[in-house]
């Protein structure tokens, strides 16, 4: 997939860098694998706002994605590569040999007509799913499980991948896109390859209205608020601000907030790269 720079026929198009959908083969999803997707507007079950700057946006249908890849030892042929409004990567419709159809996150360079399989003895080829312990070192993977059988959780967005760098009897060590090196149970499944639509990160929306279509509302700076609304609010004229912090007083701009005794810390071999203050 590539991007295109549009001619500035309107102010909103002047800075627009649009995606190209050359890799998408159909614009109609598989009806049996779609369901209605409601919107919360950032509210929880009590109606209280828990996520700010959410609301509005275009109506969407949710495509049911198979993150588990738990249909073992049955080959599947790729029928379509599709756009999914709920995620940045493309999705692929698989037709299994027994007649069942499922959506998966489409790996890069997967084409219509290709055959993929999920198996403990599968070859480490693009689109195949297998346990990390069965893969050779250096394999590039995505949709990586953190708990066996729970389904892939790591490296699902566009153009991301993890690399298998070490293995023991119980654990596999993978390097994540953030630079973090982490141990995962060796019998967790992962899919070989990099996720599709790598050029997603080169796109530019060009105007605020496009964010509204995606359900994202405007952001108001803390220093523009009143003291009752934000710790950095208030002051005469522009004489406001102070130490950068969140609306709830948590220091921002570099303060470490991770709990030192967090349970998952023992699985992190090397922390992600961070900007030096």
pLDDT tens column, 145-155: 999 999 999 99
Q: Is 168 within the bounds of a domain?
A: yes
- Residue 273 DSSP SS3: coil
- Predicted confidence (pLDDT) at residue 277 exceeds the cutoff of 50: no
pLDDT at 240: 76
Give the model confidence (pLDDT) of 203-219 as tens digits.
999 999 999 999 999 99
CATH code, domain carrying 251: 4.10.950.10
74 with 147, same domain? yes
- Predicted confidence (pLDDT) at residue 121 exceeds the cutoff of 70: yes
Q: Report how far residue 33's alpha carbon sits from residue 157's, in angstroms, rounded to the nearest whole number.
A: 20
What mean pLDDT comes out for the span 82-107?
Answer: 97
pLDDT at 275: 58
pLDDT class for 236, splitting at 50, 70, 90?
A: confident
191 with 223, same domain? no
pLDDT at 258: 87
Neighbours of 212 (CB within 10 A): 15
Q: Report how far residue 178's alpha carbon sits from residue 155's, in angstroms, rounded to the nearest whole number.
A: 10
153 with 239, same domain? no
- Predicted confidence (pLDDT) at residue 242 exceeds the cutoff of 90: no
**E strand segments, the chain:** 3-5, 17-19, 34-36, 61-63, 76-82, 91-96, 101-105, 115-116, 129-131, 140-142, 144-145, 152-154, 162-167, 171-175, 181-185, 189-192, 268-270
Angle at 166 between CA 164 and CA 169, to 5 degrees: 115
Determine which of 23-37, 171-185, 247-261 has the lowest per-residue pLDDT on average.
Answer: 247-261
- Predicted confidence (pLDDT) at residue 274 exceeds the cutoff of 80: no
- Residue 88 DSSP SS3: coil
What mean pLDDT comes out for the span 173-177?
Answer: 97
Which range of residues forms the domain containing residue 181? 24-37+60-196
Q: What is the pTM of this model?
A: 0.91
111 with 172, same domain? yes
What mean pLDDT comes out for the span 149-175?
Answer: 97
């Amino acid at each position: 997939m590539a991007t295109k720079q549009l001619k500035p026929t309107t102010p909103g198009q002047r800075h627009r860098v649009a995606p190209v959908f050359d890799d998408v083969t159909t614009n109609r999803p598989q009806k049996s694998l779609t369901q209605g997707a409601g919107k919360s507007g950032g509210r929880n079950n009590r109606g209280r706002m828990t996520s700010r700057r959410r609301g509005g946006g275009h109506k969407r249908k949710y495509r049911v994605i198979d993150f588990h890849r738990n249909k073992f030892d049955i080959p599947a042929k790729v029928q379509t590569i599709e756009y999914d409004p709920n995620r940045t990567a493309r999705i692929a419709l698989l037709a299994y040999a027994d007649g069942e159809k499922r959506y998966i996150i489409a790996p890069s360079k997967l084409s219509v007509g290709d055959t993929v399989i999920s198996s403990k003895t599968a070859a480490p080829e693009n689109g195949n799913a297998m346990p990390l312990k069965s893969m050779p070192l250096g394999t590039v993977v995505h949709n990586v499980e953190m708990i066996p059988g729970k389904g892939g959780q790591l490296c699902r967005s566009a153009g991301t991948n993890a690399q298998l760098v070490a293995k023991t009897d119980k654990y596999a060590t993978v390097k994540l896109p953030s630079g973090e090196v982490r141990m995962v149970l060796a019998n967790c499944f992962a899919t070989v390859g990099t996720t599709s639509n790598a050029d997603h990160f080169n796109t530019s929306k060009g105007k605020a209205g496009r964010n509204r279509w995606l359900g994202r509302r405007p952001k108001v700076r803390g220093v523009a608020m009143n003291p009752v609304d934000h710790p950095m609010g208030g002051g005469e004229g522009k004489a406001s601000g102070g130490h950068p912090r969140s609306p709830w007083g948590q220091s921002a701009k570099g303060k470490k907030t991770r709990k030192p005794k967090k349970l998952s810390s023992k699985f992190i071999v090397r922390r992600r790269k961070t900007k030096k203050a």
